[in-house]
Amino acid sequence: MIKIAPWALSVAPFMALAQGILQGDSGEVGEIAGAVGEILQWLVVIFIALAVVYFLWGLLKFLRSSGDERAKARTDMFWGIIIIAVMVSVWGLVGFLQDLTGVDSSSNYQVPDIPLP
């Protein structure tokens, strides 16, 4: 931690000017933020799909097994349901908070400019 502090302080001026340098006239920061947002939306969908596949794999193992293997498959199905429930509820909570605060994820926001010296 102590070794990181001088490095962090040395790059602080560049971090403060990063928006003005990156944004320029065409708004690259907004484009980058939009691209990151789209990637994150796709990642959420992919993770939910993987959780559903995990649950279905547990269901298939449950139907084809017996004894201890069946108990393991039941545990896999249980955790698959928990994972799906948590991910969908967090996704819903984010949507609720967006509605509550008036943030629209589909609109373009103007990134404020930092005046350069």
pLDDT mean by block of 10 residues, the chain; 117 residues: 59 54 54 78 88 92 88 90 91 86 68 68
Q: What is the DSSP letter of 104?
A: -
Per-residue pLDDT at 26: 47
- Rounded Cα distance between 79 and 67, Å, is 19
Q: Report the pLDDT value the prediction gives residue 38, as an integer from 0 to 100.
A: 83
**Other Cβ atoms within 10 Å of 19 Cβ, number:** 14
Q: List the one residue out of 58, 53, 83 whose CA is nearest residue 72.
A: 58
| Per-residue pLDDT, 67 | 83
The residue written with tokens 């017996």 in the block is 66
For the whole model, what pTM was predicted?
0.58
